């Protein structure tokens, strides 16, 4: 039985300031399929279009043309509220800069997406405690970001991304602010999450990091190529 795609891009173009002297073509007909449970790395130099591609996959931006299906849903048929709901259900985000709220504890940071989903506080707390345990930080639940190492902060961010049990994890340079050993620990965690059934799509500049993925693609001048 063939694997079912969770991400399907067909002929995606993204043009900024279209029809003006400042026009920039960021994506030039990108087509991509990512199956459930796959670990994909997207590589490429600055300005290649990889961040634009990630934003479209994450429903943070819309293509100028082309079709995108996320876990079977045609994103073009959704309004802004529909895209926000899809992000909440289907996609967990992990960023290089962690994006944790400094005045909140690790537990409170992880609970936040559940508040947006209208989950009762007692259930939010229980699920956040479980998510922190899954990334090895149960004993740090009451600590604020400034009291955590970079690797621990990224684990909190990953727990937050997992809290709604999304099928897709999007990670934008998740090891960029970490030393090599800590970065490898984070990548091993992503690999474990893949084995538990998550689809992982990762942006990275580093070949060493991309080697953790099953497959790598390279963005160059808005076009997508399979890595050698």
* Inter-CA distances, 72 with 17, 68, 129, Å: 30, 9, 31
What pLDDT does 118 receive?
83
Q: How far apart are CA 135 and CA 147, in angstroms?
A: 17
The parent domain of residue 172 ranges over 7-102+145-226
What pLDDT does 117 receive?
80
Q: What is the pLDDT of residues 204-216, one digit of tens each?
A: 988 999 999 999 9
Tally the domains of the chain. Answer: 1
What pLDDT does 227 receive?
66
Whether 171 is covered by a domain: the verdict is yes
Q: How far apart are CA 59 and CA 35, in angstroms?
A: 18
Which residues of the chain are under the pLDDT cut of 70?
1-3, 227-228
What pLDDT does 198 receive?
94
What pLDDT does 136 receive?
92
The enclosing domain of 156 has a CATH number of: 3.40.50.300
What pLDDT does 2 receive?
58
């Amino acid at each position: 039985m063939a694997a079912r795609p969770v991400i399907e891009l067909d002929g995606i173009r993204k043009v900024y300031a279209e029809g003006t002297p400042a026009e920039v073509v960021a994506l030039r007909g990108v087509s991509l399929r990512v199956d459930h449970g796959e670990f994909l790395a997207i590589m490429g130099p600055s300005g290649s279009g990889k961040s634009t591609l990630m934003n479209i996959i994450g429903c943070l931006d819309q293509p100028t043309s082309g079709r995108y299906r996320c876990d079977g849903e045609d994103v073009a048929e959704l309004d802004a509220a529909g895209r926000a709901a899809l992000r909440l259900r289907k996609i967990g985000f992990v960023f290089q800069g962690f994006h944790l709220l400094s005045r909140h504890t690790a537990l409170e940071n992880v609970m936040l997406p559940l508040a947006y989903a209208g989950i009762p506080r007692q259930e939010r707390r229980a699920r956040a405690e479980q998510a922190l345990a899954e990334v090895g930080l149960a004993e740090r639940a009451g600590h604020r970001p400034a009291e955590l190492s970079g690797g621990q902060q990224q684990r909190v961010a990953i727990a937050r991304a997992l809290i709604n049990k999304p099928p897709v994890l999007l990670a934008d340079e998740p090891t960029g602010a970490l030393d090599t050993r800590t970065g490898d620990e984070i990548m091993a965690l992503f690999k474990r999450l893949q084995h538990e059934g998550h689809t992982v799509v990762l942006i990275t500049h580093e070949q060493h990091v991309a080697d953790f993925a099953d497959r790598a693609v390279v963005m160059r001048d808005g076009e997508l190529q399979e890595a050698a």
